[in-house]
Amino acid sequence: MTYGGDGVIGFKFSEVQKEHLSLSHTGYSMPASQRLAISAAHLGKKLSVTHRKNIAKATSKTWIVVFPGGTERRIVNLKEFCHSYE
């Protein structure tokens, strides 16, 4: 156990725990009032440039780009890559 807010960095759920969580959330639909409350809580929040880049990196796909010379390169953020090679 940890004190409130400490978190459990590095904790991994077992396959049994994952299955139990999956089953317990099956069929759950978040009420519209709850979605609106979450949305309202985030309105006006300003994210730092670093934070926005980290979000973009975490949500972007991985691409393998083959250059005309035959070399391959693994790209994590295709939009950023395209902007740097214009």
The pLDDT assigned to 40 comes to 94
pLDDT tens per residue across span 3-60: 766 767 778 889 999 999 999 999 989 999 999 999 999 999 899 999 998 888 888 8
pLDDT value at position 4?
67
Give the per-residue pLDDT at 78: 82
Q: Name residue 38's amino acid.
A: I
Give me the residue spans of the domains in the chain: 33-84
Paired with 65 in beta bridges are 73
> Residue 84: its pLDDT value, please?
85
